[in-house]
Structure 1
């Protein structure tokens, strides 16, 4: 099995890239055009303890998970700690233009952004779900990157962390806005995904898998639709106003209504058919959606 390299710090990252020592221990802005990747790094897997944000404008030969991607346009990609990346091709100086920001979790620890970072779901999107930016959007994010870069190069003082982190948060908020724009402009594709999700949910029920395997998780649908769980959930929420979890819960309650009125099974039996090992969880869900317990619903109808 090939060795997997663990990147634990900004200093280690700079050393691997052949760059000078970083001017800040917890964050770095990299000019991609100055990054040369020799054949010795092709095929080497790396797991990073760092967050990264990368804008590249040319084919970059990147493998993420089980898939390989080549981009011909400018795209913005995000990775969180503990994700595995692998380079699939060499890269000459000046071959790819763009920038990359790497920052250690300690950079945002004990800051408001540290509490909110998990809300930026795109850090766990798949690479093929990258954000495609317009020139104006690239320029706006570039201004944020330039501010961070200048602050990193300046003398560190009592205000440095707050200024850097607040600018980083601004960049992420712009990215959140641009992702919502991307969801909106791909409405036809998104509706197809919603249809696939609903079809898979119906087929899962028809095949008796609720009783056999339990209530399906978002990963079941994302694996079949070939999207990451967070991307699929965000897409459904943007397109329908309802999260994947709520889609599934509403489906269960609608099926439960039919079973409660047409099935001789006990409330527990209905619960088991719908994937609940503990009937009181089913009753709690049913009441939260209808205002009635399953028994009250059965008696009233």
Structure 2
């Protein structure tokens, strides 16, 4: 049976490392100061940003096993499990960790829009690989937060800490956007595989059993988290993955209509339970109904 450290509060993790902090909802850890440490497989009820500078540290996350590389940032959210099970070994690691509890965000705008930072749901193999400049920016913010945590608490401290956290998250979003651009060739390959997957889906007639392909289905088949997959497609095409699927389905539908199939036959072949659902999607994409499209073909 796996030994899992339940990180219900930020100090559950920092105490495990031997460095409990003064604040109940925020902690900043410099791993160089607490190493060597024991591994831990963690069940998080808090948010965490883990910046690791040591190369080739093996890590479990969910059902996968991956290697960290120097300058890697991993973000976790409540409800996720990650780390490596304690086997008694002590390891020297370098880097930083920022953990903060959702309760810290109550009353601040970040509480409402933290869900917009989709990288919290990326998998470890979709982690952020930072440049030296990006790395230094985040480390500087970590140091400033730790300095603030060392001051006597007052009525503005939480607002200042939340401000630092939001700034760090915005920098992370900027860095991810840069990573999507610098990996554009790889992202184009993902788009090709996405289209091949959609072709195979309909060729194998999976739509008759499973309905239309979903973003989650495609992401799973391409071994990506749905958030990362959706972000890659948006950055590569300028449109959402779900719209890409709908456009693909409409292209398929047009081929059938042009070949003489009725609207009902096309809808059934594409896996729609009701032809009006197909007609609604077609009109939303094309601006005309399937029947009007057929009339244009004949005119």
Q: TM-score, normalised by structure 1?
A: 0.90
What residue is the counterpart of 2:271 in the other structure?
275
SS in 2 for 1:55: strand
**CA 1:263 to 1:152, structure 2 compared with 1: closer, same or farther past 3 Å?**
farther
**Matches of 1:37 and 1:121 in 2, distance apart?**
30
1:130 Cα shift? Answer: 1.1
Do structure 1's residue 53 and structure 2's residue 52 form an aligned pair? Answer: no
- Aligned counterpart, 1:226: 223
CA displacement at 1:203 relative to structure 2? 1.1
Write out aligned runs for 1:24-63 (5 A): 24-33=23-32, 34-38=34-38, 42=39, 45-58=41-54, 59-63=56-60
C-alpha separation between the residues in 1 aligned to 2:140 and 2:159? 17
- Correspondent of 1:136 among 125, 133, 136: 133
Could you say what secondary structure the match of 1:54 adopts? strand
Q: CA RMSD in A?
A: 1.9
1:79 aligns with 2:76: yes
Name the SS of the counterpart of 1:62 in structure 2.
strand
Structure 1 stretches of 4+ moved >6 Å: none
Structure 2 equivalent of residue 297 of structure 1 = 293
Deviation, 1:259, is: 2.1
Aligned residues: 293
Flag the 1:279–1:2 CA change in 2: closer, same or farther, 3 A: same
Q: How far off is 1:35 after superposition?
A: 4.2
Distance 2:159 2:96 in 1: 22
Deviation at 1:120? 0.9
Counting only pairs closer than 5 Å after superposition, residues 1-301 of structure 1 correspond to structure 2 as: 1-20=1-20, 22-33=21-32, 34-38=34-38, 42=39, 45-58=41-54, 59-87=56-84, 90-92=89-91, 95-265=92-262, 267-301=263-297
C-alpha distance in 2 between matches for 1:264 and 1:67: 45
SS at 1:199's partner residue? helix
Any idea what SS the aligned residue of 1:82 has? coil
Identify the range of structure 1 (196-205 vs 4-13) with the bigger mean alpha-carbon deviation.
Answer: 4-13
The 1:47/1:263 distance shift into structure 2, 3 A limit, reads farther
For residues 67-125 of structure 1, give each alpha carbon's deviation from its aligned partner in whole angstroms, at most 9, with x where no partner exists.
Answer: 22222311111111111113157343xx2111000011111233211111111111111
Per-residue CA shift, 1:213-267, capped at 9, x if unaligned? 11111222222222221111111111111211111010111112222332444x3
Unaligned runs of 5+ in 2: none
TM-score by length of 2: 0.91
Contact persistence 1:125–1:230 (CA under 8 A):
yes
- State the 1:295 CA deviation: 2.3
SS in structure 1 at match of 2:37: coil
